[in-house]
Amino acid sequence: MQIERQALRDVIGDASRLAFDSIPPEYLTDALGRLHGQAEALAFPLSTEEVSGVLRYAHEHQIPVTPRGAGTNLVGSTVPLQGGIILDLSRMNRILELDRDTLTVTVEPGILLQDLQAYVEGEGLFYPPDPGEKASSLGGNISTNAGGMRAVKYGVTRDYVRGLEAVLCDGTVLRVGGKQVKDASGLSLKHLLIGSEGTLAVITKCVLRLLPKPETSVSVLVPYGDLGTGICGVLTILQADANPTAVEFMERKVVALGEEFSGVKYPCPQAGSYILLTFDGRKSEVKANLERVRTLALANGAIDYVVLEDPARAADVWKVRGALVKAVEAVSEQEPVDIVVPISRTADFIAFVNELEAASGVRMVSFGHAGDGNVHLCVVRGDRDDETWERDLHAVMEQAYHKAYELGGVASGEHGIGVSKRRYFLRESVKENLIVMNQIKDALDPLHILNDQKSYIGGHDHAEPV
């Protein structure tokens, strides 16, 4: 396709924020760097007006556009498969307003999660969504409806988006939601854009809900003989209204990898699994919940109950949890999966994964968010050549995704669908739902220039699920 360079220069107005001939390779892929696309232009807008101008030009000339934030996506959503223009929002990273009266903060989409959290906590406030990648952008978090470890108590990104400014494919600027708490005024366009992976509009401004900063936070490590017992213990804890902030599960085999990678040792190495919990809030409330859960855990099969009152020790334990994916990657290439099932079926799904691992010979390492049923798998390549790896990976993933849907789950809890999960998502999803999703895409982006062939999109011909 032919892109008029001067036309883009007229919109951006700064040659240093445009690239044409030598686009750095990291902009043509995602965080994993295994799937690559190609593009004719890379633009770094600094304002809504510039985003609107680029999209207006692209729409008029039917040029594909791939929106991009910090580039931490794991499923290929930021890969420019159709060529065209990469629209990188990372330099739109300002905090525009902190409104204490409405407990909201207004930011641009390129601000990093870690920077926003540090800013609001310095002001005595709290932004609860906490996905594992703290260097992700808020625009990206919203585009995938990111969750994270604190979702069990506080919910996911969607629950903290009060309003959005977004630009449609033809350059039209849309403002949806606002600082108000309630809104029963027509269709919720804001919620339609959240989780849409850049397929419907490009987010340029975010109004986010904040909370008062919790007075204290304490973590607990609970070892169990096996994962099934640990998950049953989690259900007991959740039903007891102990209100944990985070509830993570880890099988011993993945903890061992994390220990080796980080140099930190967990207590009770004889355990088959661990449940890692955090409680936050007022000190009296946290103390009462810690004691309530201690009684429940020890009465329901826990080997021990280790309160991590020393901040350094707690940081070490969480360091292992945070390094699990990197620990697996240090051993072998792996495919990250974030399937989610009903909480009560988590142990059933993990048992199935272990059986699948034994039957297929493909190593599969499990950990994740026990409090909301979000299972993270690392499917390990080992020494397989490209052809064998592609065949074996597809075979086990087909079975794993099918089992998840059979148990009442879905393909993704927080990473999104992108490219890598698309075949499984389309295969397992209800046909009528896919038709409606594509009708919405056609209405908002009739030329399919925005992140086409990602997630739910079947293309211009609306092909049947694969």
Calculate the alpha carbon distances from 421 to 226, 250, 357, 425, 430 in Å: 30, 23, 19, 6, 16
Predicted local confidence at residue 463, as pLDDT: 42
For residue 65 the two structure tokens come to: 């556009």
**Is pLDDT at 5 greater than 90 in this prediction?**
yes
Query: Cα separation of 250 and 258, whole Å?
Result: 10
Q: What are the pLDDT digits (tens) for 198-207?
A: 999 999 999 9
Is residue 362 over pLDDT 80?
yes
What is the predicted pLDDT for the residue at 322?
86
End-to-end CA distance of the chain: give it in Å, rounded.
28
In 3D space, the residue among 222, 62, 211 whose CA is nearest the CA of residue 125 turns out to be: 211
Query: Distance between CA 141 and CA 437 in Å, rounded?
Result: 20
364 forms beta bridges with 379
Confidence label for 388 from pLDDT (cuts 50, 70 and 90):
very high
Residue 464: its pLDDT value, please? Answer: 45
Confidence check: pLDDT of 59 > 70: yes
Q: What percent of the chain has pLDDT over 70?
A: 98
pLDDT given for residue 228 in this prediction: 86
pLDDT of residue 465: 42
Where does residue 445 rank: exposed (0-12), middle (13-18), buried (19+ CB within 10 A)? Answer: buried
Q: Is 206 helix (H, G, I), strand (E, B) or coil?
A: strand
- pLDDT at residue 461, as a whole number: 43
pLDDT tens digits, one per residue of 399-453? 999 999 999 999 999 999 999 999 999 999 999 999 999 999 999 999 999 999 9
Residue 146, pLDDT score: 96
- Distance between CA atoms of residues 236 and 215, nearest Å: 26
Mean pLDDT of 377-391: 95
- Predicted confidence (pLDDT) at residue 47 exceeds the cutoff of 80: yes
% of the chain beyond a pLDDT of 90:
89
Tell me the per-residue pLDDT of 185-232, one tens digit each, with 9 for 90 and over: 999 999 999 999 999 999 999 999 999 999 999 999 999 999 889 988
Q: What is the pLDDT of residues 60-95, one digit of tens each?
A: 999 999 999 999 999 999 999 999 999 999 999 999
Residue 236, number of CB atoms within 10 A of its CB: 15
Beta strands 41-43 and 85-88, pairing class:
parallel
| Helix %, strand %, coil % of the chain (to 5) | 40, 20, 40
Record the tokens describing residue 200, joined without a space. 């419907």
The predicted pLDDT at position 249 comes to: 93
Domains of the chain with CATH codes: 5-88 (3.30.43.10), 95-212 (3.30.465.10), 216-324 (3.30.70.2190), 332-416 (3.30.70.2740)
**Is 459's pLDDT higher than 70?**
no
Predicted local confidence at residue 244, as pLDDT: 96
Q: Residue 1 above 80 pLDDT?
A: no
Please tell me the distance from the alpha carbon of residue 2 to that of residue 365, in angstroms, as a whole number. Answer: 46
Average pLDDT, the chain: 94
Give the pLDDT confidence of 327-339 residue by residue, as tens digits: 888 889 999 999 9
What's the pLDDT tens digit per position in 273-291?
999 999 999 999 999 999 9
Residue 292 has pLDDT above 90, yes or no: yes
